[in-house]
């Protein structure tokens, strides 16, 4: 594939797909918990919303079939994306047609069922979208592609999270959610017009020979057999470890220092926008720096950002300082995430792109979730300051694994590309 900069049409296509994934995620993660509680729904039932995200973790189990099976009429990735995004649109439109008193009352289980279907469709679509992204972008420009992934997804979450909460009072539930469904439909236009069969024809000779029950084992065994793959997985699992350890305790620390819900909401919005900017900056720099230098530089900034949170312990009243450190941390987080995702794409095999990327992403998210779950215990034991400094030290130490991977014996080709 040519190393030329992707066309504007390609960039619009990828941005639209990832923004479409962020829209239902923002609705589920940010808007619905508020609305459910306002309608008196029990906290235990609101907590079930977290379980609805299981398809995002389990998609690794069916991802190989998405790489293997293609639609002769719609194309390979497009043949998955169009019907799955259509399913999400229909579910969200269905929510918009129902009265909130019904959904948050007697119809609560219908709401949860529709949301589970939305997550299942969106998570499966994500595999196909990631595979399409890897095939569309040359190595040099995968940082920019992942900027669109991170930025588009966060934009979608802001629209259906903060945006929907702002619109609910003046517009009402039905019209507000209806606008989300309409925006999803609009975002389907670029993939509908994309001529995948002509530009990216399916190459079945490079895929698995059969799609039977043994496909899952054969697919991932082939991935793990690649030279240096185990060393790279060590990088994937640990690169965001410091951030995962420290970031869950940022808001609790500010709450303990008297920050109100509204103040935290404003900080979250500003931080999200900073994260989008960081992702875009990281993608542009990745094209110039390459994988190794991007991972080292952005990873160091990520570690510094989370360690700097220790400066806010007891300083919550200094609003300017809080914003400066929080925005810096989010910019660094966006840059480091883009670098990691772009580097992950380098290890994806032809016609195995979706599942190969999914395995790496799922492994990273699983460990991050487990580590994040322990952050509260560590904060109680070490204090907020000790936790943030320790998380920063961990973030710096894991950069040694990045160097070890690129400098390992037989990695001359990887280092020259980096």
For the domain that residue 220 is a member of, what is the CATH number?
1.20.1250.20
Is residue 206 assigned to a domain?
Answer: no
Structural domain includes residue 28: yes
Query: Pick from 135, 168, 201: which residue ends a domain?
Result: 201
232-257 mean pLDDT = 87
| Domain membership flag for residue 335 | yes
Say if residue 391 is in the same domain as residue 276.
Answer: yes
Instruction: Tell me which of 152, 169, 201 is where a domain ends.
Output: 201
- Give the C-alpha separation, 86 to 98, whole Å: 19
The token pair that represents 386 in the structure block = 């000790």
Closest CA to 207 of 356, 106, 81, 330: 356
In the prediction, which pLDDT does 1 show?
A: 46
**Residue 257 and residue 177 in one domain:** no
Percent of the chain with pLDDT over 90: 39
**Mean pLDDT (whole number) for 217-246:** 88
Instruction: For residues 286 and 188, state if they share a domain.
Output: no
Same domain, 192 and 327: no
The arithmetic mean of pLDDT across residues 4-17, rounded, is 87
By mean pLDDT, which of 152-166, 203-217, 222-236 is the weakest? 203-217
Find the domain containing 402 and state its range: 213-418
The number of distinct structural domains making up the chain is 2
Rounded CA-CA distance 341/347 in Å is 11
The per-residue pLDDT for range 136-192, each reduced to its tens digit, is: 888 778 888 888 888 889 899 888 887 888 888 888 899 999 999 999 999 999 999
DSSP for 65-90 reads: HHHH--BTTTBHHHHHHHHHHHHHHH
pLDDT in tens, 183-194: 999 999 999 999
The yes-or-no verdict on residue 33 having pLDDT over 90 is: no
Higher pLDDT, 216 or 2: 216
Could you read off the pLDDT of 317-342 as tens digits, one per residue?
788 999 999 999 999 999 999 999 98
Beta bridge partners of 71: 75
Cα distance between residue 360 and residue 366, in whole Å: 10
pTM above 0.95, yes or no: no
pLDDT given at position 116: 93
Chain mean pLDDT for the chain: 86
Q: Which of 201, 232, 253 is the last residue of a domain?
A: 201
> Do 70 and 163 fall into the same domain?
yes
| Together in a domain, 243 and 179 | no
| Residues 373 and 334 reside in one and the same domain | yes
Q: Within 10 Å of residue 157's Cβ, how many Cβ atoms? A: 24
Residues 285 and 194 both lie in one domain:
no
At 415 the pLDDT is: 45
Of 53-67, 248-262, 327-341, the least confident: 248-262
Contact 46, 337 (CB under 8 A): no
Residues 254 and 404 sit within 8 Å (Cβ to Cβ): no
- The per-residue pLDDT for 149 is 84
* Claim to verify: residue 269 and residue 413 sit in the same structural domain: yes
């Amino acid at each position: 594939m040519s190393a030329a900069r992707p066309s504007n049409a390609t960039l619009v296509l990828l941005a639209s797909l990832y923004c479409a994934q962020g829209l239902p995620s923002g609705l589920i993660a940010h808007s619905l918990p508020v609305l459910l509680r306002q309608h008196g729904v029990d906290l235990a039932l609101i907590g079930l919303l977290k379980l609805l995200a299981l398809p995002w973790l389990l998609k690794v189990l069916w991802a190989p079939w998405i790489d293997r099976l293609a639609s002769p009429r719609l194309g390979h990735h497009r043949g998955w994306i169009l019907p799955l995004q259509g399913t999400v649109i229909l579910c969200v439109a269905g929510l918009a047609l129902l009265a909130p008193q019904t959904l948050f009352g007697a119809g609560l289980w219908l709401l949860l069922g529709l949301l589970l279907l939305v997550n299942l469709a969106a998570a499966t679509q994500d595999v196909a979208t990631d595979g399409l992204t890897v095939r569309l972008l040359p190595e040099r420009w995968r940082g920019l592609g992942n900027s669109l992934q991170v930025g588009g997804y966060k934009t979608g979450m802001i629209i259906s999270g903060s945006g929907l909460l702002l619109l609910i009072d003046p517009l009402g539930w039905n019209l507000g959610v209806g606008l989300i469904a309409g925006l999803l439909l609009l975002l389907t236009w670029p993939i509908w017009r994309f001529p995948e069969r002509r530009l990216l024809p399916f190459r079945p000779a490079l895929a698995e020979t059969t799609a039977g029950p043994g496909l899952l084992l054969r697919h991932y065994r082939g991935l793990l057999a690649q030279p240096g793959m185990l060393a790279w997985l060590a990088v994937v699992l640990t690169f965001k470890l410091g951030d995962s350890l420290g970031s869950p305790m940022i808001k609790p620390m500010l709450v303990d220092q008297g920050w109100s819900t509204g103040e935290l909401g404003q900080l979250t919005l500003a931080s999200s926008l900073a994260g989008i900017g960081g992702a875009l900056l990281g993608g542009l720099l990745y094209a110039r720096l390459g994988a190794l230098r991007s991972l080292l530089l952005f990873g160091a900034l990520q570690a510094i950002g989370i360690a700097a949170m220790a400066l806010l312990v007891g300083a919550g009243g200094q609003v300017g300082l809080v914003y400066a450190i929080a925005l810096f941390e989010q910019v660094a987080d966006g840059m480091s995430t883009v670098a990691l995702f772009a580097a992950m794409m380098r290890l994806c095999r032809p016609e195995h792109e979706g599942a190969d990327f999914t395995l790496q992403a799922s492994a990273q998210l699983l460990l991050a979730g487990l580590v994040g779950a322990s952050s509260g215990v560590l904060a109680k034991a070490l204090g907020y300051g000790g936790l943030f400094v320790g998380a920063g030290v961990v973030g710096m130490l894991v950069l040694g694994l990045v160097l070890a991977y690129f400098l390992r014996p037989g990695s001359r080709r990887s280092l020259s590309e980096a």
